[in-house]
């Protein structure tokens, strides 16, 4: 569980937060509250981003703020319990929160996202933040990292092994494989998702039943809690190494621009 984490911004005292933010880096965690079959909680994508975000916070010694559990997931609304916000609502919230972090001295904002449906919105928010405040936004798409690091073990499905691992790493009491409902065959879901994941010509997802009629597909039972924690640690290592590489590369390029002007 993560509720007592020392770098979770709401847990920090004002003087401690001020000192930590003045070091220049803050982490924003995004979320989603959407159906994940009978075996995973509605907040799966929120918990996934949070468990990785907290690991990243430990490594960077930077404060971490969960923006809100809810994200942009209108295509899961056919299943009651799913919540969604309009993209502009999330943009407004992220920009306003970034304003406070920036005012405290954070010039590097690392967004840790898991939910694919948040991606266009997070990019628009980042653009507005960078036009409004003296801050650089870097986005970590942690579902993509998890799948890329372990393509066979961490399948890119919905409510399958990858998302089960993320929830197990956060709180194994929130996974109940005995309550698994029938899912779609993995080939059906994979082909459905592939339509919307094309990068050249693609439709926009309107109803997740177009991907998987049951709402989920994948093989959730394949990962132990120990392995899940190990994987999420390695995902956090990858986020931190990439973030540090990017910050250093950008600093060099900005220095070159300065010499040119
Ligand atoms: Zn999910």
- 177 pLDDT exceeds 60? yes
Q: Give me the DSSP letters along 130-193.
A: HHHSS-EEEEEEHHHHHHHHSTTTS-SSBSSHHHHHHHHHH-GGG--GGGPPP-B-HHHHHHHH
CA of residue 57 to ligand 1 center, whole Å: 22
Distance 200 CA to ligand 1 centre (A): 24
pLDDT tens column, 117-171: 999 999 999 999 999 999 999 999 999 999 999 999 999 999 999 999 999 999 9
Query: What is the rounded distance in angstroms from the CA atom of residue 255 to the CA atom of residue 63?
Result: 27
Residue 18, classed as helix, strand or coil, is helix
Per-residue pLDDT tens digits for 21-76? 999 999 999 999 999 999 999 999 999 999 999 999 999 999 999 999 999 999 99
Residues whose Cβ atom is located within 5 A of ion ligand 1: 44-45, 163
Give the per-residue pLDDT at 248.
96
How far, in Å, is the centroid of ligand 1 from the Cα of 44? 6
- Give the pLDDT score at 215: 97
Q: What is the average pLDDT score of the chain? A: 96
Would you state the structure tokens that stand for residue 70, as one six-digit string? Answer: 């809810």
What domains does the chain contain, in order, with CATH numbers?
Answer: 9-260 (3.40.50.10310)
Token code pair at residue 150: 């372990």
Q: What angle do CA 177, 183, 189 make, to 5 degrees?
A: 125
What's the CA-to-centroid distance between 159 and ligand 1, angstroms?
6
Q: How confident is the model at residue 110 (pLDDT cuts 50, 70, 90)?
A: very high
70 CA to centre of ligand 1 in angstroms: 12
What distance in Å separates the CA atoms of residue 137 and residue 114, rounded to the nearest whole number?
A: 16
Say if residue 4's pLDDT is above 90: no
The structure tokens 């909680």 sit at 41
């Amino acid at each position: 569980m993560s509720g007592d984490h020392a770098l979770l911004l709401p847990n920090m005292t004002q003087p401690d937060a001020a000192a930590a933010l003045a070091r220049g880096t803050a982490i924003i965690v995004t979320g989603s509250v959407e159906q994940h079959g009978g075996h995973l909680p509605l907040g799966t994508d929120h918990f996934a981003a949070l468990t990785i975000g907290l690991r990243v916070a430990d490594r960077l010694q930077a404060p971490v703020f969960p923006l809100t559990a809810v994200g942009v997931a209108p295509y899961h609304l056919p299943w009651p319990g799913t919540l969604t916000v309009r993209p502009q609502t999330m943009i407004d919230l992220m920009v306003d929160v970034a304003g406070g972090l920036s005012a405290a001295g954070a010039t590097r904002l690392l967004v840790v996202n898991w939910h694919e449906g948040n991606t266009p919105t997070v990019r628009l928010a980042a653009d507005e933040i960078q036009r409004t405040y003296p801050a650089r936004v870097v986005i970590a798409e942690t579902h993509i990292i998890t799948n890329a690091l372990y393509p066979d073990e961490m399948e890119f499905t919905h409510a399958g092994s990858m998302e089960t691992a993320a929830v197990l790493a956060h709180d194994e009491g929130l996974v109940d494989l005995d309550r698994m409902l029938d899912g779609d065959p993995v080939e059906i879901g994979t082909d459905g998702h592939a339509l919307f994941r094309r990068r050249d010509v693609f439709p926009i997802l309107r109803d997740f039943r177009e991907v998987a009629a049951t709402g989920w597909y994948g093989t959730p039972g394949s990962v132990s809690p120990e392995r899940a924690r190990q994987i999420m640690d390695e995902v956090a290592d990858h986020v931190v190494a990439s973030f540090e590489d990017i910050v250093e590369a950008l600093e060099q390029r900005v220095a070159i621009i300065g010499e040119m002007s």
